[in-house]
Amino acid sequence: MSRSCLAVILAAGDSTRMKSSMSKVLHPVAGRPMIAHVMAAVASAGMTDAALVVGRDAEKVANAGAIDGISVRSFLQTERLGTGHAVLAAREAIADGFDDVLVAYGDVPLITAIPFAAARQKLAEGADVVVIGFHTDKPTGYGRLLVENGELVAIREEKDATDEERKVTWCNSGLMAINGRKALSLLEKIGNANAKGEYYLTDLVEIARAAGGKVVAVDAPEAELTGCNNRAELAYIEKLWQERRRHELMVSGVSMIAPETVFLSYDTQIGQDALIEPNVVFGPGVTIDGGAVIHAFSHIEGAHVSAGATVGPFARLRPGADLAAGSKVGNFCEVKNGKVGEGAKVNHLTYIGDAVIGAHANIGAGTITCNYDGVNKHETWIGANSFVGSNSALVAPVSIGDGAYIASGSVITEDVPADALAFGRARQEIKPERATVIRERALALKKSRSKT
C-alpha cells in the first residue's frame, strides 16, 4: 500500500505472572524476543513508523524492537489505566496524522502480517475501525464480536452478554486498526465510567459508530493470537512456533525424520533436499544449503553448511563455522570460526577453532587446533590435500602446507612446508621387564596400606 502506517505496540507489562526479573516481551521465542516477532509482523504489513509503549526495561525493549528502515519511538506508560489509556501514551506519534494506525501487543509473537494487511485493506475501503477477531470452540472469557449486515456493532464482554450472545464463537483479540486521520479524536472520547475506572480500547466500536463511522471485523487464526502471561504459556507458544516453521520447511522440500525433535531458530534457513535427522538444535544465524545432511544430536549456531556437506552425529558447529560443498564434520567434533574446504573431512573427536582447512584435507581423530594462549586467539592454516594424523595438536599460529603429512601423535609448533612430513613427538623407547617391576611395586604399596 502507498498509505502511511503507524503501529502502536503495547509493551509496558510488568511481567508479574511471568515471575521474571525482566520485561515479559523480552522473553524469547525461537531465540528472538517476543517484541521483535511482533515488530517483524507489522513491518511486513507495511508499517512505516512504530510507537512502542513501554514500562519496565524501557531501553532494552526499545532496542529489542528496533527494526531496519522503520522509525521507532518509545513512550513511557507510567500508569496502568486500561488499553485505551495505553494507546494514548503514544499520543504524540498518533497526532502526526498517519493514514492507518495499527494497535498490537508485544506479547503476541505468533501474529503474522496477514491479519494486519487485511485490516489495513478495510481501512482503505472506508472503515474507521477494524477489529481483528478469531473463531474458537472455547469462547468463554472472551469478548464476543456482534455483527449485523456485515458491520461490527459491538464487542460484548462475557459478563454482559445474553445467553444468545454467549453462543457467538467469533471473539475479540484486542488487535485493531484505526483510521489515522480520526484516531486521536476517537481515542480521546474513550471514558472510564466503569467498575474499574479504566479506559477500554474496545469502546472505540460504539464511539466510531455513534459518530457515523463504519466499523468492521476481520478474521485471524486463533493460534496466531495466542498471548503470553506465564512460563507455561511461553512454552506453549514456542511449541506452536516450532510446529509452524517445521511445516513450512517440510512443505518447501526439507526432509525431517522426526520433526517434533528438531528445534529451529527464528532465522534458520534450510534448502531444498536437505535432510535433518532427529534431535537437532539450530541456534540463531544458521544457513543449511540444499542437499546437506545434518545427522542426529547435532547443535548448530551461527554457521553455514554448503550443499552436499554432512554434519554429525553428535557434532557442534559454533559461530563462524563454514563448511564447503561435500565436506564432512563427523561425530563428537566441534568447529568454531573455522572454514572447512570442499571435500575436506573432520571425522572424529576433533576441535577446529580459528582455522582454515583446505580442500580435500583429512583431519585425523583427536586432532586439536590449540588456538588460545589464555589472552588471544590465533589461527591455523591447513593446506589442500594435506593429512593430519590422529591425536595431533596444532599450536597456533601455525601453517600446514598443501599436501603435507603430519604424523600421528605430533605436537606441531612450527610451519610445515607443502608436501613435507612432520614429526612432533618423542622417540619411542622400550624398557624390557620394566612393567613387571612397576606392577609389583604398586601391589606392594597397596598391600601395605591395607594393613594399616
Q: Which residues are marked as active site?
A: 348
Q: Which three cell numbers stand for residue 2?
A: 502507498
Contact 177, 204 (CB under 8 A): no
Burial class for 367, CB neighbours closer than 10 Å (0-12, 13-18, 19+): buried
Instruction: Give the three-state DSSP class for 87.
Output: helix
Gap between the Cα atoms of 12 and 94, Å rounded: 18
Amino acid 170 reads W
- What is residue 240's three-state secondary structure? helix
Contact 6, 101 (CB under 8 A): yes
Strands 405-406 and 387-388: parallel
Helix, strand, coil % (nearest 5) of the chain? 25, 30, 45
Peptide bond into 221 cis (omega under 30): no
How many Å apart are CA 27 and CA 20, to the nearest integer?
A: 9
Angle, vertex CA 154, rays to CA 150 and CA 158, nearest 5: 125
C-alpha triplet 259, 262, 263: angle, nearest 5°: 135
Q: Name which of 265, 266, 326, 348 is nearest 300 in CA terms.
A: 265
Alpha-carbon gap, residue 303 to 128, rounded angstroms: 47
Query: What is the residue whose three cell numbers read 618423542?
Result: 426
Residue 320, CA distances (Å) to 101, 285, 286, 301, 377 in order: 41, 10, 10, 9, 14
- How far CA 246 is from CA of 65, 261, 269, 306, in Å, comes to 25, 10, 11, 20
209 and 189 Cβ atoms separated by less than 8 Å: no
